[in-house]
């Protein structure tokens, strides 16, 4: 397996520098210095080593600094300094939304906030609005400001989390270091610069004010809950024969419910082949879009994502030709129903070792161990699960034998890796907890691990129990399992 290349890339805006020394915003813009140490998913009991990065931010009300989550993810030490000043101050993370790539930092030293005023959050920008982007791109130490135009507003995949959320496109070039910088219109924040397009010229994106305000409201109770989702899969209904089949009139439009995920709050409320026609009285078109402002359209997911966890949502559906009005409580956070999780941050990887066999769930973090071209170089079977896997009660995770720590007791298995484990000691495995339980409650002579091709790894239970400690010592591994798999007694 290729070792993961650590990329600490702060991204965002600015084609050329224009200094605005008199701008009242300038005294509230912040340069962020980070030291980070990411977890290794190839060797999940260790980290990859220290690296440094920079980004941008802005002081908002409550003596807080608003920035991007990717600027401070996996950080071990953070410093900040204001534009035009030399002194750095130690900062700490207060709240993070990896979904929306936003974070809040705080600084304990009151001196930091002297001579600066919090910048207010504005409204959702309009297409063709002129905006100014503030930040600290690479190529110099001083703050840079450029102007651009909002050219598009629509749902997009956020690179940091792969969440599909509302985003604003702006026609400004993008440089490392600007990530987290405020995008200003009439002295108010209308966005946070956060990513660029891989193709095309002068295409950058900002997290819009609506998403920022959602995040700030979410964390008012001191906890981040996230953006909700319905947990459904739907099909567009642009074909007239399809609409006729499901008894839709010419005045009706909507999308067809094709599947519901295991944790979906819509289970037992919606049914397969229902036609979802409206959400909160906003009509859904046959292409799955809704009008969120006059003349502007985006995905129907926007109507769910503007809600908060445990909010209720009103649906109008067509079932066997009959219109029904339903209510659903939104209890599930977006992306939590995936079989293979998107990239995770600030969280130690899960693993379990017995007899030198290393087991871990398949995640995007693990796939990233194949390097920047992971989507082409990782095993095709694992990529298939990442792309198409749907979480079910029988398969909550894909459990892998990632490698074998070579020892005399596991001879013949040393070259095995990336095997998808289906059964342990005759028990079907749905998740890591099942695997640990099947191993530790086994009283038979052998441990038998079976992969999805029918291959078996057999170890004498007594030998595995006796020599597992020796193997861990040989490979300088402190524990046979991650903290999340330890019982309360083991954690003491």
What is the DSSP secondary-structure string of 151-196? EEEEEEE-TTT--EEEEEEES--EEET-TT-EEEETTEEEEEEEEE
d(CA 418, CA 358): 10
Contact between 50 and 35 (Cβ < 8 Å): yes
Contact between 379 and 385 (Cβ < 8 Å): no
Which of 98, 99, 100, 101 does the annotation list as catalytic? 101
**H-run or E-run covering 97:** strand 89-97
Domain ranges of the chain: 11-221, 232-329, 352-491
HSE-CB at 85 with a 13 A cutoff on CA atoms is 20
Strand partners, 484: none
**Smallest Cα–Cα separation from 195: which of 35, 23, 62, 70?**
70
**In a structure prediction context, what are the per-residue pLDDT tens digits for the chain, which is 492 residues long?**
443 333 333 433 333 334 444 468 989 999 999 999 999 999 999 999 999 999 999 999 999 999 999 999 999 999 999 999 999 999 999 999 999 999 999 999 999 999 999 999 999 999 999 999 999 988 778 898 888 999 999 999 999 999 999 999 998 766 778 899 999 999 999 999 998 876 666 788 999 999 999 999 999 999 999 999 999 999 999 999 999 999 999 999 999 999 998 889 999 999 999 999 999 999 999 999 999 999 999 999 999 999 999 999 999 999 999 999 999 999 999 988 889 999 999 999 999 999 999 999 999 999 999 999 999 999 999 999 999 998 988 999 999 999 999 999 999 999 999 999 999 999 999 999 999 999 999 999 999 999 999 999 999 999 999 999 999 999 999 999 999 999 744 554
Which of 144, 179, 253, 299 does the annotation list as catalytic? 179
CA 30 vs CA 120, 147, 182, 447: distances in Å: 15, 18, 10, 56
CA 14 to chain CA centroid, Å, is 26
Residue 243, both tokens: 């609409």
CATH numeric code, 232-329: 2.30.42.10
Strand partners, 399: 361
Which class is domain 11-221? mainly beta
pLDDT at residue 175, rounded to an integer: 73
Contact between 421 and 400 (Cβ < 8 Å): yes
Identical fold, 232-329 and 352-491: no
pLDDT at residue 12, rounded to an integer: 38
d(CA 292, CA 136): 33
Return all residues near 486 (Cβ < 8 A) that are at least 6 apart. Answer: 479
Is 98 a known active-site residue? no
pLDDT at residue 265, rounded to an integer: 94
For residue 248, the tally of other CB atoms under 10 A from its CB is 20
Contact between 401 and 449 (Cβ < 8 Å): yes
pLDDT at residue 177, rounded to an integer: 83
pLDDT at residue 8, rounded to an integer: 33
Which of 36, 42, 70, 100 does the annotation list as catalytic? 70
Strand partners, 96: 103
d(CA 102, CA 71): 9
Which class is domain 352-491? alpha beta
Buried b (16+ CB within 10 A) or exposed e, 267-285: eebbeeebbbbbbeeeebb
Return all residues near 7 (Cβ < 8 A) that are at least 6 apart. Answer: 372
d(CA 56, CA 184): 14
d(CA 305, CA 289): 14
For residue 328, the tally of other CB atoms under 10 A from its CB is 22
Residue 107, both tokens: 């600084």
Terminal-to-terminal C-alpha distance of the chain: 35
**Smallest Cα–Cα separation from 172: which of 20, 55, 17?**
17
For residue 20, the tally of other CB atoms under 10 A from its CB is 13
Return all residues near 476 (Cβ < 8 A) that are at least 6 apart. Answer: none
Question: Backbone phi, then psi, for 291, in 5-degree steps?
Answer: -95, 115
Is 346 a known active-site residue? no
Radius of gyration of the chain (CA): 25
């Amino acid at each position: 397996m290729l070792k993961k290349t650590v990329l600490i890339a702060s991204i965002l805006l600015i084609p050329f520098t224009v200094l605005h020394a008199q701008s009242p915003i300038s005294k509230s813009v912040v340069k962020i210095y980070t030291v980070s140490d990411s977890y290794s998913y190839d060797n999940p009991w260790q980290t990859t080593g220290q690296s440094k990065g920079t980004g941008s931010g802005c002081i908002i009300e409550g003596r807080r600094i608003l920035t991007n989550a990717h600027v401070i993810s996996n950080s071990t030490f953070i410093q900040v300094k204001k534009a035009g000043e030399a002194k750095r101050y130690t900062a700490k993370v207060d709240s993070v939304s990896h979904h929306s790539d936003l974070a809040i930092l705080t600084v304990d030293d009151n001196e930091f906030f002297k001579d600066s005023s919090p910048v207010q959050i504005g409204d959702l920008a309009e297409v063709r609005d002129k905006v100014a982007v503030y930040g600290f791109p690479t190529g110099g130490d001083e703050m840079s400001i450029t102007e651009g135009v909002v050219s598009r507003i629509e749902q997009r995949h956020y690179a940091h989390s792969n969440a599909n959320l509302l985003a604003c496109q702006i026609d400004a070039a993008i440089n490392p270091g600007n990530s987290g910088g405020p995008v200003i219109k009439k002295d108010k924040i209308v966005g946070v610069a956060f990513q660029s397009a891989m193709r095309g010229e002068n295409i950058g994106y900002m997290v819009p004010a609506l998403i920022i305000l959602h995040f700030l409201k979410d964390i008012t109770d001191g906890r981040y809950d996230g953006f909700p989702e319905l947990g459904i899969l739907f099909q567009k209904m642009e074909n007239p024969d399809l609409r006729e089949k499901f008894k839709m009139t010419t005045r009706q439009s909507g999308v067809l419910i094709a599947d519901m995920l295991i944790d979906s709050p819509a289970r037992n409320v919606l049914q397969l082949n229902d036609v979802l026609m409206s959400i909160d009285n906003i009509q859904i078109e046959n292409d799955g879009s809704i009008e969120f402002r006059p003349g502007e359209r985006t995905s129907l997911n926007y109507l769910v994502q503007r809600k908060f966890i445990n909010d209720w949502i009103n649906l109008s559906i067509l079932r066997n030709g009959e219109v029904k009005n339903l209510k659903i409580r939104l209890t599930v956070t977006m992306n939590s129903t995936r079989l293979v999780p998107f990239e995770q941050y600030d969280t130690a990887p899960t693993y379990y070792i017995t007899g030198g066999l290393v087991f871990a769930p398949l995640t995007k973090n693990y796939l990233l161990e194949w390097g920047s071209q992971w989507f082409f170089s990782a095993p095709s079977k694992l990529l298939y699960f990442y792309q198409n896997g749907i979480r079910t009660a029988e398969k909550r995770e894909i459990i892998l034998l990632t490698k074998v720590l070579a020892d005399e007791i596991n001879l013949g298995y040393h070259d095995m890796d990336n095997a998808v484990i289906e059964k342990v000691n005759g028990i079907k495995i749905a998740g890591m907890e099942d695997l640990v339980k099947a191993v530790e409650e086994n009283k038979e002579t052998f441990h038998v691990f079976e992969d999805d091709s029918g291959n078996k790894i057999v170890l004498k239970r007594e030998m595995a129990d006796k020599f597992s400690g020796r193997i861990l010592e040989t490979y300088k591994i402190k524990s046979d399992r991650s903290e999340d798999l330890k019982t309360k007694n083991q954690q003491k």
